[in-house]
Amino acid sequence: MNQKLILDFENKIDCEVPMTMDTIPLSKESSFSQWQQEIPKEYFNLTSEEINYKINTAKKKLGDNVIILGHHYQREDVIKFADQIGDSYALSLYAARNHKTPFIIFCGVHFMAEAADILSSNSQHILLPNLEAGCSLADMANKPDVGSAWNQLTKQFKEKYKIIPITYINSPATLKAFCGENDGIVCTSSNADKVIKWAFEKGDKVFFFPDQHLGRNTSHKLGIKDESIALWDWRKKENKLGGNTITQIEKSKVILWDGFCSVHQRFTISQINQARIQYPKIQIVVHPECSSEVANASDAVGSTAFIADYVSNAPNNSIIGIGTEINLVSRLAKENPNKKVFCLDSVVCPCSTMYRVHPAYLLWILESLLDKKIVNKISVDDDTKKFAKIALERMIEVS
Ligand code: 13P
């Protein structure tokens, strides 16, 4: 997290002035020591102007051989180089449909690049500028833990119920493969409702991982009440049914993994109440990774693309408080100068892993390609790919 950012906005209810995170040389980034160290020294001290010039030059030289995809949460000094900007669903779909461009540079996080590798053709290469750009939510579920939970569930309930596993796209490829192999499916925040409906056409219960909030918010949207939702605590030891009794699981339609996004978990009811007091005409829109209390107190809930459309479609002079990552909120504020757009969280915590895609890394990837070197290629192994693709393609078909 950027310390200066916190201090600048401390004690403010909203961030009226859109923040910009100016490019500072990589070596001066305070958390650089946690980032991918393999980047050659020559990239450490480049200035913003040098980086911009060099990226534009490299992009021109590489022409149609390269496409840069940028997730909405990417920092401003990176997203400006993206050829396609979108939410995680739109960017996966792009990878699934564009089988021409040999090199896809994914400015986003690791699970997004993995999904692109699974959906793209074998002759394409997916490159992630900084291999340390991960997702703490995706890290909350892994194959051994999910496998153990699945064994307990199927051992106990297989005769009575068909359980459909659903993994949020924010998960490792191994979990997508697990779903593909077990009649399950992937979802994103923009299609979770359609995916859960699909699952209930195929089975009696849904096992949803790793984000409990997306699972709960979507279940509520589909009319599933809290009494029919169980929470699976993956920290509990073997054979403890994730802290549930047999009856609790019997009663549940949806079993949620106890995972969460640390950025979206920061949004609270009191922030919403405060914003409504300050601006009685405010509209509140939040991402479904926020808690159900926050989602229920909001006027609209949706993916990053939904939030971007919501703001751009709102009439002039609208006041909109947003519950999602700050880079997107700042961009929307800048792009909509006739509206008051701000982040509900005054501490404006950015997604620290997305932030690790410093433009110097993008430059490194591009210049390596010019030198005929492929760096930071994301390769999912063939076995995992085969089943993960089944689960991702099911999602695309349902969406
Ligand atoms: P979207 O699917 O809305 O782009 O969200 C991705 C994400 O990682 C949110 O934390």
CA distance 94 to 68: 11
Pairing of strands 103-107, 125-127: parallel
pLDDT tens profile 102-142 = 999 999 999 999 999 999 999 999 999 999 999 999 999 99
- Res. 28: pLDDT tops 60: yes
pTM of the model: 0.94
- Res. 3: pLDDT tops 70: no
Cβ(92) – ligand 1 distance below 6 Å: no
- State in Å: Cα 158 to ligand 1 middle: 33
- Res. 290: pLDDT tops 80: yes
Rg of the Cα atoms in the chain: 21
pLDDT tier for residue 326 given thresholds of 50, 70 and 90: very high
Atom of ligand 1 nearest to the CA of 89: 2
pLDDT tens profile 139-168 = 999 999 999 999 999 999 989 999 999 999
State residue 254 phi and psi, 5-degree precision. -125, 130
CA distance 141 to 144: 9
pLDDT tens profile 212-265 = 999 999 999 999 999 999 999 999 977 799 999 999 999 999 999 999 999 999
Cβ(211) – ligand 1 distance below 6 Å: no
Cβ(74) – ligand 1 distance below 6 Å: no
Average pLDDT over residues 93-97: 97
Atom of ligand 1 nearest to the CA of 303: 3
- Looking at residue 396, its amino acid is I
Cβ(188) – ligand 1 distance below 6 Å: yes
Cβ(289) – ligand 1 distance below 6 Å: yes
Cβ(170) – ligand 1 distance below 6 Å: yes
Cβ(303) – ligand 1 distance below 6 Å: yes
pLDDT at 52: 96
Cβ(171) – ligand 1 distance below 6 Å: no
pLDDT at 350: 81
- Res. 344: pLDDT tops 70: yes
Question: Contacts for 30-34 with beta carbons within 8 Å, 24 or more apart?
Answer: 30/2, 30/3, 31/1, 31/352, 34/132, 34/356
- State in Å: Cα 88 to ligand 1 middle: 6
pLDDT at 349: 72
Residue 174 neighbours by CB under 8 Å, 6+ apart: 142, 143, 384, 388
pLDDT tier for residue 21 given thresholds of 50, 70 and 90: low
- Ordered structural domains, the chain, with CATH: 35-135+353-379 (3.40.50.10800), 138-261 (3.40.50.10800), 264-343 (3.40.50.10800)
Cβ(101) – ligand 1 distance below 6 Å: no
- State in Å: Cα 238 to ligand 1 middle: 31
Best substitution site from 79, 87, 261 to test ligand 1's pocket, by max atoms within 8 Å of Cβ? 87
- Number of residues written out for the chain: 399
CA distance 175 to 144: 10
pLDDT tier for residue 356 given thresholds of 50, 70 and 90: very high
pLDDT tier for residue 170 given thresholds of 50, 70 and 90: very high
